[in-house]
Amino acid sequence: MSSEASPRSTAAPGGPAAPPYPLLFRPLRIGPLEIRNRVIFAGHGSRFVDWHSHHLTERQGHYLAERAAGGVGLVIQGSSMVHPTGLAAAGVNEVYSDDGIPAYARVAEMVKAEGAAIFGQLSHLGRQGDTFAAHRELWAPSALADPASRVVPHAMTRRDVAELIDCYRSAARRLIAAGFDGLEVYLAHGYLLCEFLSRFSNRRTDGYGGSLENRCRLPLEVLEAVRAQVGDGVPVGIRVSAEEFVPGGLTPGECSEVVAHLMARTRVDYVSVSQSNYASIDRMIPDMSFPRAPFAHYAAEIREATAGVPTFAVARLVTPEQCEELLAAEVADAVCLVRPLIADPEWASKAASGRREDIRECISCNVGCRGGPHRGSPIACLVNPAVGEEARWGFRRLEVARESRRVVVIGGGPGGLKAAETAALRGHRVILLEAAERLGGQVLVAAAAMPYRDEFANSVRHLEGQIRKLGVEVRTGVRADAATALADDPSCVIVATGSFPGSFDVPGGELVHPVREAIAAGVTGPRVVLVDAGEAGWKVCTTAENLAAAGHEVTLVSPVGVGASMDAFSRPPMLRRLRTAGVAFLEYHTLSAVRPGVAEVTETLTSVPRLLAADSVVGASYGVADDALFGELLALSEAGEAPGVELHAVGDCLAPRQAIDAIWDAFRVARAL
């Protein structure tokens, strides 16, 4: 089944146009509640939480309300911890005390004001986390170390079980008191209730372990307690992991049995079908190296056990065409989106109103949405710099400037394109100058590293389409100097000239091929030593993939762990692909010299040298800001020779970083014009 075939239909000649995605935007009944369409903003951790009180913040309210205003049918507020021991990660929110009710009420009010329903996800992280956030022990069915944090949890007693059930009951009361329309009991992703369901994590020998009936006992008791608390007038659903991808873990067949067992004994109003746990974390939030909708078939399998109760599909559902097709094929009754709605809060309304070409597609890079939490920060997005700042910068708050100015942007990479788009949206007259014949800058080089990386280029393709639609004057093949930059009498010049590869300051460093050259033109000889200066991310790892795919024997040398800068969801599949391709890793080594046929490297811990046979040496060095033009313009301004011209540098010419940083820079500068 093609996941990209368009289901758009047209009316007979002369008749009204048919809705572009009729199934996707058909109302859906979930128990006693009807939602306006089948687009669901699924529960997830944003970290827009007060890290001291663990209460939701206004920032979270604006974040969710932005997607509600963008047309989704249902918003699910992610993981609300029902017990203090569930706070196994920083930036998660609690629902175990009445003190948090006002914050939940405010979020619910903001979402419902935009026409969407809101459900709350009742959760406990179990053993998957650490003890630092709550200064408490972790709870689990068995005293088995968490596969990610390697912390040994407390094996719950019968008294703990009784306490937990009561906490779920009272948490349900609080969310309904706060105005939530429904609840989701979290049975997925290896969190506590999933741990009880799975033989992978449950080794108990009492009434809560062993047989499927016993392993279902606590989830069933929780569901019964929640239902008794809220009654039949409130929809209550579950989220499950259909496949855990680990020995002894849940499989689609057993998960179907679990769902059927629970539904035969208590009322469940929907089943949201996900996959994996933290021992198979690479498949929990699949990046662009996975095909689109790689796990949707699990929803179809579980759907056979739900007896007509709505089933939701999830995981890398990117386009409305893809979602419509899944509904048409009865794979699921609704689609859960997270990253696509982070990337474009208006995804639903644009699709419904026929503005498909304006959707800012998620590129599944995981750079911001997972890379932020990976670095201890809230989520962000490479293609949407307004994430988390919806109150100031959201799509409903973009205002046309009081005075239209002439703005010249130098450089057509991600920073320059974003600056041009944002300035044009503000009503300014924009001219963009690019030295190359194509727009896109270094993103095009990165996207060419491997076939699956082509999706990365969608970030600049979308921006190019938008600036042309907005009437930006684009001049390619123009290598601007100061005179060119000022020739159109601009009131503002934004310099986005990027960076160039740095060199390796070692004997023979001139023999090192830059990564960009290796990808664009190739290297010679069977044995390639690829040296990472320390970036330890996508650039060097995808170059290794590219060289291995071209038939080279690749040794990847890094001063840190290979891929250390990558997020926890994308690094495991990357390392797996590199190992499968035969790439050798030499970690904690740096390049010390290059001679024909030889690369000398030195271990960083002991300073012991080592010689590696190398027909070619490729270097992933840090970039060097290409800031000469900005410096020249700044000098003219300071000398009074460019009066009244506002100057800005954005992206790599300001400081060499990632594409997400260039877009952040550009958005910040252009918003203020």
Cβ contact 643:394 at 8 Å: no
* 332 Cα distance to chain centroid: 23
Q: Is 267 exposed, middle or buried (0-12, 13-18, 19+ CB in 10 A)?
A: middle
Q: Is the sign of the CA dihedral 565, 570, 572, 578 positive or negative? A: negative
Amino acid at 274: S
The SS3 call for residue 211 is: coil
Nearest to 204, CA basis, from 161, 247, 260: 161
Cβ contact 278:125 at 8 Å: no
Q: In sequence order, what DSSP letters do the residues of 606-670 get, joined into one string?
A: T--EEEEE-SEEEEEPPEEE--HHHHHHHHHHHTTSSTT-EEEE-GGGTS---HHHHHHHHHHHH
Nearest to 533, CA basis, from 371, 374, 615, 656: 656
| Dihedral angle over CA of 86, 91, 92, 96, nearest 10 | 70
| Dihedral angle over CA of 247, 252, 257, 260, nearest 10 | 150
Cβ contact 162:216 at 8 Å: no
* 43 vs 366: CA distance, rounded Å: 17
Q: In sequence order, what DSSP letters do the residues of 322-374 get, joined into one string?
A: HHHHHHHTTS-SEEEESHHHHH-TTHHHHHHTT-GGG--------TTTTHHHH
Cβ atoms within 10 A of the Cβ of 160, count?
A: 14
For 239, list phi and psi in degrees, rounded to 5: -120, 130
DSSP-derived secondary structure letter, 431: E
The SS3 call for residue 49 is: strand
* 646 vs 634: CA distance, rounded Å: 10
Cβ contact 276:298 at 8 Å: no
Across-strand partners of 600? 593, 611
Tokens of 592: 């010390």
Cβ contact 89:125 at 8 Å: yes
63 part of the active site: no
* 66 vs 643: CA distance, rounded Å: 41
Cβ atoms within 10 A of the Cβ of 183, count?
A: 27
Cβ atoms within 10 A of the Cβ of 360, count?
A: 20
**Catalytic residue among 191, 208, 278, 298, which?**
191
Amino acid at 640: G
Cβ contact 472:418 at 8 Å: no
Active site residues: 191
